[in-house]
A = this chain, B = another copy of it.
Amino acid sequence: MQVPASTPGSGTFPGLITREHEPLNLELPFPTLTDWLIPANQFYVRSHFAIPQLAADEWRLHIGGAVRQALTFSYDELRQLPARTVAATLECAGNGRSRLVPKAKGLLWEQGGVGNAEWTGVPLARLLEQAGVAAEAVEVIFEGADKGSINDEPKSPGVIAFARSLPLAKALANEVLVVYAMNGQPLTPEHGFPVRLVVPGWYGMASVKWLQNIIVSPTPFDGYWQTLEYAYWHRVHGQPTLAPVAEMQVKAEIARPAQYEVLPAGAPYRVFGAAWGGASEIAQVEVSTDGGHTWQPARLLGEAVPFAWRFWEFAWATPSVAGRYQLSARATDAAGRVQPAEHNPDFRTYMVTKIAVIEVVVA
């Protein structure tokens, strides 16, 4: 049996904020952000059930449903196939929820339910091609080994595994990987060891961890995790219709200064943060230091990498007058989508990208 790189438990995630202990939900303290790639033990953790303790030599990946030939892969077989490495930012669909007024139900993530890493694995399209997707297929369902009972009876379907689907077109996109390594190391248990899906450009719930079953479906899948959870209202002729949370919305976050940080008056200060927005490139980040009245362009750092966040900075000359000041950042992507000032109530408690306010004390 192969031993995973780390085991979850006290002390293995230095500095992460515990949002929930069982199941394990941990958040990056966003003001500590420095590295473009977040190490596994600093990467946010989102679990819905207890973390499965899987043995790599016993684990199997099954591909079935509407395919010409059902397939099974072992961990070793999977790792011998041609691999790709893709940098991708994953964000929890509920990240930023603590900003909603009134207080939302669910885990109250602040800024740090997000991270960026390099993911190595086999393109899903290659596996599906080998299995032979039937002409009538419309979606692909991904099932993890994590399972349990939901507490909102009577609407829950009882004991269920975590599962999500992708439309066939996204499942066949070349960035979607069946992943066994994160930042060049085997996955850790809390990040999906031995194998997970990674769906660049989509919120994290699509990147099913502890992946065991891939089912090609000839009908749309309306599973628990894309209807009663992780779904939002989309309007059709004014009528709300439920849609699965999918592509990430455009968003900039300020890492520094931190909320209520004390800054010296009349001095230069480097405002720093990250911006991301799914498949579309970040075109611009703007910063306001006067509570949103005026905006100035920030400088984008490094190069644009598809599906990965972009760091940015803004040189601020702090006021000479002591007092409280409000900083905000807002992003615009290459498709012209601008980060909104207000939360769309149809998004429920997901996709929270409304422009945040960081209040600092200039003294």
Residues of A within 8 A of B (CB): 64-65, 104-105, 141, 143, 154-155, 157-158, 160-161, 163, 213, 215, 217, 219-224, 227-228, 231, 233, 236-237, 239-243, 345-346, 348-349
Contact = CB atoms under 8 A, between A and B. Distances in A.
A65 B157 CA distance: 34
Given A154-B104, A349-B154, A223 B243 contact: no
Nearest to A234: B222
B236 A345 contact: no
Contact of A224 (B157, B220, B240): B240
Contacts of A160: 239-240
Per assembly, the copies of the chain total 2
B348 A141 contact: no
Given A222-B243, A227-B227, A242-B228, A237 B157 contact: no
B236 A219 contact: yes
Nearest to A348: B154
B217 A242 contact: no
Given A155-B348, A233-B157, A227 B239 contact: no
Given A154-B105, A157-B233, A239 B345 contact: no
Contact of A223 (B64, B215, B241, B348): B241
A155, A213, A239, A348: residue with the most chain B Cβ atoms closer than 10 Å: A239
